[in-house]
Structure 1
Amino acid sequence: MVIPSPPNLFSPERMNQLMAFDRLLTIMDDLREKCPWDKKQTLESLRHLTIEETYELSDAILEGDMQEIKKELGDIMLHMVFYSKIGSETGDFDVSEVLHAISEKLIARHPHIYGDTKVENDQDVKENWEKLKLKEKGNKSVLGGVPNSLPALVKAMRIQEKARGVGFDWEEKQRVWGKVEEEMQEFKEHFNAETAETIDAEKAEAEFGDLLFSLVNYARFIDLNPETALERTNKKFIKRFQYLESKAKDLNKNLADMTLAEMDVFWEEAKGM
């Protein structure tokens, strides 16, 4: 196995990157020693803030705002350095161990680069990745690596991707769409769409979950990310609704006092923008 090692001489670009990282590490040392807020933080107290920063990065990526992406990446980098600093204080790990660990994992997970494994395409790479992960972690199940706390839509996607990694998947997308139609029909059997009457609430919920799962599966087959698709729709709805609110304000009206027909006029205007 060929393992990359640091060069004897760094290029100016790499030296600038290393100096920038060293600057952040130094600032973190100062903050942890001198700032009352930073001194108080723990792994647990930072957790929800890290999740928030991750979603802010996600928003910036969807908006295609490169300057905002740069800013949010900096925020997340700060959190990674912060966790590593806390780890060094407890004696569990430091930032060098964190970086070496991910480097070793990447080398081990890419035997087609650092070993003699042959791959034909990116799907081969993904399948090898999942097999190596299963071996490394000693999971009894291929799905053992899917975090329990993932949002349900993202979790469905990851479950399906992992199952595909070991060959458990549909062969034709037409059959996947057939499954969507089948699940829709089963849902309708427990929900009267004309009267909005739920025939069996518990079964309707189960069938609706099956329907969503099959839609996620079909999206995967046609190379669509369902999480991204739904979030773009959320943003589109927000934009149109806020246009509706602004128009109501121009008329000195409250939305609650407007008829659906009145609101629909502005909604159609928003759709055309």
Structure 2
Amino acid sequence: MVTAYDYPSGVHVDQAGIDIALVGDSVAMVVHGHDTTLPVTLDDMLLHCKAVSRGARRPLLVGDLPFGSYEQSPQQAVDSATRMLKEGNMDSVKMEGGIGSRVAAAKAISEAGIAVMGHVGLTPQAISILGGFRPQGRSSARALLVLEHALALQAAGCFSLVLECLPSPVAAAVTTALTIPTIGIGAGPSCSGQVLVYHDLLGMMQHPHYAKVTPKFCKKYALIGEVINSALEEYQKEVTSGEFPSAAHSPYKLEKDQLEPFLLGLQKNGFHDAAEAASKASERDTQAVSSSRKTSVV
């Protein structure tokens, strides 16, 4: 599983043969620039879900229910999940937490005929309670609580669970105890599957702010951010120097025999400087074409 947030990332995830595309509330951080996932709204999520669904046709599409869209009541959870499918074109939804109210919400969503993925361990929407983005389940008591929550979500009808930032033995135990698949993120190799954030695994975010929140568990499979920065810098230099656009990137020409009437029309209307500029531009185009032909012959 990989996150996707827009049409291009949806296309890439699809073409790579990724099984599941998660339109995660992490969009708040990696796309909108927030420090946490909390500010993103259901309407925000629906916009991103729609875009991803147009690009990712093969993967199972999972829409993250954002903070504030399912906590008030099971009915609110069902209403939000329904919008994810009807308006966002998702196949399923994901929600965080394993306490009683979250289990009730998951059960209501499942009973409404909507596939729901659970999420235990580090639940970013609860960082104010957890004390920040910190690993969970590190003591025996807390590890057993993670298992308890996982079993409750399974009983509520979840088809899968995300296990985030857990010690590998804890994730292995939870995965073995469940009959539904687990998807790990910072939880070791024993989970049924793995998920990473699109921007993280591609190394897209190359600036000081993002360096502070790039997770330790993430492997960068590319450094796309460096490629992007280099390309933008080269573009800026070429525009400043006049190297871009060259004739090769100025493909549109006046229709045959229309240059002279155009120049005469400009002069007739008093645009003498404009006529001179147009004439010089035409000469440059002609010289560039001639030079290109000579190069081709050589």
What's the TM-score, normalizing by structure 1?
0.27
Give the structure with the larger helix fraction. Answer: 1
Which is richer in strand? 2
TM-score for the superposition, normalised by structure 2: 0.25
